[in-house]
Amino acid sequence: MTVANRAQRGSIAPMDVVIDSLAAGGDGVGRAPDGRVVFVPFTAPGDRVRLRVVESRRTFLRARVEALLEPGASRTDPVCPAFGSCGGCAWQHVDMAAQLEAKARIVEDALRRIGALAFAEPIRITPSPVDYGYRARTRVLRRGGRTGYRRRRSNAIQPVSRCPVLTPALDASLHALAASEDAGDGEYELAAGADAVRCAALGAAAVAPPIEIRVLGDRLRVSPGVFFQANAPLHDALAQAVLEAAGGGGHALEAFAGAGFFTLSLSRRFDRVTAVESDPAAAADLRHNLAHAGRDNVRVVAERLERAWSSLPGADVLVLDPPRGGLPPDAAPWLAGLGARRIVYLSCDPATLARDCARLRQQGHVLRAVSAFDLFPHTPHVEALAVLEPRRGQDGDGSVHSARGSSGGPVAPTGARAGRSG
């Protein structure tokens, strides 16, 4: 922060503000008396709060709560004693209806602001079947005999021995690790499978056993450190939504395939599948899972997408599930050149999804439908599923429609309307 900003911050008196909404980063959002947007952690829509400014910029302020003058209707009591200090959850104080509304709006705002897209109807979001006890994979730190997560905006450890968002089996594993006198310092991955729980020290020489997860009837081996979707109760609904969006046909190209979360089911809908996965451990799991399921129509390409794409064939459908950073910078022209009739893009970051959709739009694609999934209740994270197709001659303004999921009970969140901005 500059000297000028510090001086200006110190000259701003406490102010009373009503919180209107929740931002993508998790803070509540209101308007200061001078019209500037103000971001306030741990506030809920409808709260009337007295604030102390901690950062002043030309167009916005950041502040902390000095007093909660009147709680909003969406405010609720957090269940975790570490809430507020732990860097994991940001919204345990917000009820689920308001969380779902905020997440749908976060996706819509990103696509409108970055992707210049219009919406014909509200984005539909599939809620998690459970608000707590959903998370089947996490990473924790251990230092000097203390176990926990990182503190909010810090590398320091927030000690925890219980975590209410973890599945019961995983919560028990965390408790055992925290109580252990033998576990060394480092980072640990806790993962719950269908029949077992794994606690693995990442980077250690010892090899921990894989676990198995179940997705639409398939059993998938997942080795330590290999990514899989963490919300176990939403596995089937998420996979089914991607499969329905992909449809079927001759050839599907799947990028960022992981251990095969979607691949095995895709192989039953398409004559052949090319699955690209750069992580060696994930690619090994993928090959094992395909062999175990008797699927012999999948070619696994164990390379980074940008290194492999010059040798990859065209496809009827593209299925993309990239990490938070999104697609490689030069991916859009190559993807458009594959001649696919549809691109199915699952994203864990609405901002990078919007950026990539804008790049694909420049290559002649239209975003046909978008939906969202609440994989991480009590956090601002949201998963978005986008379907893009080549532009047709009769296309008008490219207004986007909400994609309806199947087995997750998608809902239009209360108050979410097309055109509403954050």
- Under DSSP, the state recorded for 122 is P
Answer yes or no: is pLDDT of 404 > 50. no
pLDDT of 193 over the 80 cut: yes
> Long-range contact list for 406-409, CB < 8 A, 24+ apart?
406/237, 406/240, 406/241, 406/244, 407/236, 407/237, 407/240, 408/126, 408/127, 408/129, 408/234, 408/237, 408/238, 408/240, 408/241, 408/373, 409/126, 409/127
The whole-number pLDDT of residue 419 equals 31
pLDDT tens digits for range 307-325: 998 899 999 999 999 999 9
Helix (H, G, I), strand (E, B) or coil at 383: strand
Out of 86, 89, 199, 348, the active site residue is 348
Structural domains of the chain, ranges and CATH numbers in brackets: 3-70 (2.40.50.140), 96-131+227-402 (3.40.50.150), 137-192 (no CATH)
Q: Confirm whether pTM is higher than 0.85.
A: yes
DSSP secondary structure string for all residues of 195-237: S-EEEEETT-SSPPPPEEEEETTEEEEE-TT----SBGGGHHH
Q: Is the pLDDT of residue 110 over 60?
A: yes
**Helix/strand/coil (H, E, C) string of 34-61?**
CCCEEEECCCCCCCEEEEEEEEECCCEE
Average pLDDT, the chain: 90
| Average pLDDT value for residue range 250-256 | 98
Per-residue pLDDT of 112-161, as tens digits, reads 999 898 887 889 999 999 999 999 999 999 999 999 999 998 899 999 99
Query: Does residue 244 have an active-site annotation?
Result: no
Strands 60-70 and 157-159: unpaired
Would you state the pLDDT for residue 213?
97
Q: Name the more confident of 285 and 4.
A: 285
Task: Kindly report the length of the chain.
Answer: 422
Judge whether residue 420 has pLDDT over 60. no
Q: Is 348 a catalytic residue?
A: yes
**pLDDT single digits (tens) 52-77:** 999 999 999 999 999 999 999 999 99
Instruction: State the pLDDT confidence band at 377, using cuts at 50, 70 and 90.
Output: very high
Task: Considering the candidates 101, 108, 277, 383, report the single residue annotated as catalytic.
Answer: 383
Q: What is the mean pLDDT of residues 39-49?
A: 98
Question: Residue 422's pLDDT is what?
Answer: 31
